[in-house]
Amino acid sequence: MNSSTSSSETSLSAESAIRFSQRGYASADQPISVLMAQALAQPDLISLAAGFVDQTSLPVEIVRAASEKLLSQPEVGAAALQYGTTAGHSGLRDVICQRLAEADGISSEGLAARCMVTAGSNQLLHLVAEAILDEGDVVLCAAPTYLVFMGTLAGVHATSWSVETDHEGMVPESIEATLRQFEEKGELHRVKAIYGVTYFDNPQGISTTPARRAAIVEIAKRWSRKHKIYVIDDTAYRDLRYEEQDEPSLLAYDDMGSHVIETGTFSKSFSPGIRVGWGVIPAELFNVLVQLKGNIDFGSPNFSQALMAEILTSGAHEQQVETLRSAYCEKRDAMLAALEASFGGKDEVSWVHPKGGLYVWLSLPEAVKTGPKGQLFDEAIRRGMLYVPGQYCFPAEGVPGKTNTIRLSFGVQSPDRIHEGIASLAAAVGAII
């Protein structure tokens, strides 16, 4: 849209051309907007699409008590209402790292110094993308992966490139084969990171096994020959476990703290309205991320951070996590039961049983196209339910996307509405087959 010629006109044209930046133009069309527009246009729709959280279990009384505790102490209250540092509230960083070290069985020494607080873990992912990716650079992701992160990558003109996954997470052999392909093309330098949602992932609900965790970090290190390849471990759903025991994160496999960028958030495990996320970052990247964040917002709201520090320290967070685990476990069971009732025994229909998180991944017969231009999407909306087309979750490059898949979220709706929504989906499938 830019003109490189000068103009000698002096008249005022009524409508001069608008000129966005390249990023401005690139930003204007994210697939998620289609879904949001649908949901807004038809508010009585049962949305099993958004990864939002349960409204009824939000921790109103816990935040009320924490807020009162902070603000009833004039000096503590004033400190919370003042500017903080760009890296984040030091008390909060300390308690996040103590908690993480304990869960991972690692030393907390030095962790807080490379921990920063962000507006949700999404901002951390955005900052990492800004810090390490130029146009044409590549991040290896699971096929499928977190669709918003692909938007973040597109925003910096980088490419998400998918590798195969199975019920244990990303397949190491597929990561290696992909790296080898880049090497053979003379393009290994383009690969800057491997990204994974390692606990109850978005969208499949699959957790990465300990052996796979070790393998992914080992591969990243081994392939960091001339240039470093980071591993981004997105642990957004770690606390939302409904079965079995917690496992150490990728950080536990990165002895030197040199390759793993770990992100987490209290949006899913506590409150998205408080909007506190965090990252633990290799030391060499830390200052760059802080500087980039300084240019965006000077640091996340200090008051939110002071609240979260109080809530974590008092043990109220763990209490809320227990509440959520039981609420979400019931909803997950409702969704699995509803799927069994509607799709059980049907040919070519299967779904993943997630041990945590907010999502169930459904595969329909290959002939059924679930995308926004296929018959099913409109038919499902007509029958009162909304889902996320699985194809939104597949990177354009790498492993081909599956056009017969659906991401279902059980986070927002009640068990009854989940049953109703799945029944509507089944009816829609029946109507178009």
Judged by CB, which is closer to its own copies: 230, or 394?
230
396, 145 contact by CB (below 8 A): no
CB of residue 333 to its own copies, shortest distance in Å? 23
Least Cα distance to 328 among 425, 246, 408, 415 occurs for 415
| SS3 label, residue 49 | coil
CB of residue 152 to its own copies, shortest distance in Å? 5
CB of residue 90 to its own copies, shortest distance in Å? 12
Least Cα distance to 377 among 42, 8, 4, 80 occurs for 42
Judged by CB, which is closer to its own copies: 149, or 351?
149
CB of residue 339 to its own copies, shortest distance in Å? 26
Euclidean distance between CA atoms 342 and 363, whole angstroms: 13
CB of residue 144 to its own copies, shortest distance in Å? 19
Which positions ≥6 away from 324 have C-beta within 8 Å? Answer: 54, 57, 239, 240, 269
CB of residue 278 to its own copies, shortest distance in Å? 13
CB of residue 46 to its own copies, shortest distance in Å? 18
Euclidean distance between CA atoms 370 and 378, whole angstroms: 9
Judged by CB, which is closer to its own copies: 125, or 251?
125
Which positions ≥6 away from 112 have C-beta within 8 Å? Answer: 90, 93, 94, 96, 97
Judged by CB, which is closer to its own copies: 81, or 211?
81
Least Cα distance to 199 among 265, 147, 257 occurs for 265
Judged by CB, which is closer to its own copies: 154, or 399?
154
Q: What is the b/e burial string over 53-82, where b = at least 16 CB atoms within 10 angstroms of the residue's CB?
A: bbeeebbeebbeebbeebbeeeeebebbee
CB of residue 135 to its own copies, shortest distance in Å? 9
Euclidean distance between CA atoms 113 and 119, whole angstroms: 18
Residue 101: φ, ψ to 5°:
-60, -45
Euclidean distance between CA atoms 2 and 82, whole angstroms: 43
Judged by CB, which is closer to its own copies: 226, or 373?
226
CB of residue 425 to its own copies, shortest distance in Å? 24
CB of residue 14 to its own copies, shortest distance in Å? 9
Euclidean distance between CA atoms 142 and 307, whole angstroms: 35
CB of residue 158 to its own copies, shortest distance in Å? 9
391, 24 contact by CB (below 8 A): no
Judged by CB, which is closer to its own copies: 224, or 375?
224
Judged by CB, which is closer to its own copies: 273, or 365?
273
CB of residue 25 to its own copies, shortest distance in Å? 8
Reading phi first (left if > 0) and then psi (alpha if -120 to 50, else beta), residue 299 is in left
Least Cα distance to 90 among 265, 302, 276, 336 occurs for 302
| SS3 label, residue 350 | strand
Which positions ≥6 away from 114 have C-beta within 8 Å? Answer: 257, 280, 281, 282, 283, 286
Judged by CB, which is closer to its own copies: 241, or 275?
275
| SS3 label, residue 394 | coil
Judged by CB, which is closer to its own copies: 148, or 214?
148
Judged by CB, which is closer to its own copies: 176, or 247?
176
Judged by CB, which is closer to its own copies: 165, or 357?
357
Reading phi first (left if > 0) and then psi (alpha if -120 to 50, else beta), residue 262 is in beta
Euclidean distance between CA atoms 191 and 255, whole angstroms: 22
